[in-house]
Amino acid sequence: MMRSLDIAGTGMQAQQTNVEVIANNIANMTTTGFKRRRAEFQDLIYQDIRRVGTMSSDSGTLVPAGAQVGLGVRTAGIYRINAQGTLEQTSNSLDLAIEGPGYFQVTLPSGEYAYTRDGTFSLSDTGQIVTADGYPVSPGITVPNNAQTVTIDQTGQVQVTVSGQTQSTVVGQLQMATFQNENGLAAMGQNLFTETQSSGNAITGTGQSVGFGDIRQGYVEESNVNVVTEITDLITAQRAYEMNSKVITASDEMLQTLTGLK
């Protein structure tokens, strides 16, 4: 069988993956805190028809270039582009955005930690600050039921004013996390990530400290997806897919010619 059939097949599979990544980016273009992904590819192993550097004569002359045929392409990785998204003002006191590096830390029902850039928080029935799925931020912060205002400064310190008092009261401090390798975080859906061996252990701290961004109250971070870039990439991937399909068609016609010889 002609190698070109397999080679073009790997090309079609690669571009299918590329289109799936682009489709996910476009689908999440309005998802709070979403970071666009980019598929990266590697060429496969090569088959030596004539090995480079081998002797071509008894006098010691060497083959200068050789002849290698590549066997296709494979997906090497799908990377997150962790560029800052635009901050959108909401004026909701429990909407928070991180301007700069860092993630909010969330406690899952299992007791493990997850990390998110989505700061659309609310209050639970007990007054705890929680995510849209009811997971409490870590460390847990409870707002009194008689609180009139909630103020969160750029370091993440949470203060409330209650009826009958003129001075605000500190009820907690939001903690942030950073990682040596953000792309090593495992996405689990729901705008949450978990640490892995590749990401390294979480480095915790507070807003405005060295290596951490600022916390902005009354804002959320928009997705960093650029629809023009995604559409351009989609067209490129579609054309590459079509070209690989044409290679398969041409190879099939060549085989039919070969089998038709008498």
66-106 pLDDT, tens digit per residue, is 788 889 999 999 999 999 999 999 989 999 999 999 999 99
Burial class (CB in 10 A: 0-12, 13-18, 19+), 102: buried
How many angstroms separate the Cα of 149 from the Cα of each of 25, 96, 98, 166?
Answer: 37, 15, 21, 11
- At 1 the three-state DSSP class reads coil
Residues shown for the chain: 262
Question: What residue ranges in 101-244 does DSSP mark as E strands?
Answer: 103-107, 113-116, 122-123, 129-130, 147-152, 157-162, 169-173, 176-178, 186-189, 192-194, 203-205, 214-217, 219-221
Reply yes or no on whether the pLDDT at 1 is more than 70: no
Which of 53-57, 100-104, 113-117 comes out lowest in average pLDDT? 53-57
Residues 2, 64: contact at Cβ < 8 Å? no
Assess whether the previous peptide bond of 139 is cis (omega < 30° from 0): yes
To 10 degrees, the CA torsion angle through 40, 37, 107, 141?
Answer: 140
Eight-class DSSP state of 90: -
The stretch 128-139 carries a mean pLDDT of: 94
Reply yes or no on whether the pLDDT at 236 is more than 80: yes
Higher pLDDT, 81 or 53: 81
- Give the other-Cβ count within 10 Å of 217's Cβ: 20
For 14-37, what is each residue's pLDDT tens digit? 999 999 999 999 999 999 999 999
Residue 18 CA to residue 75 CA, distance in Å, equals: 9
Least Cα distance to 213 among 94, 93, 103, 105 occurs for 103
**pLDDT band for position 117 (cuts 50, 70, 90):** very high
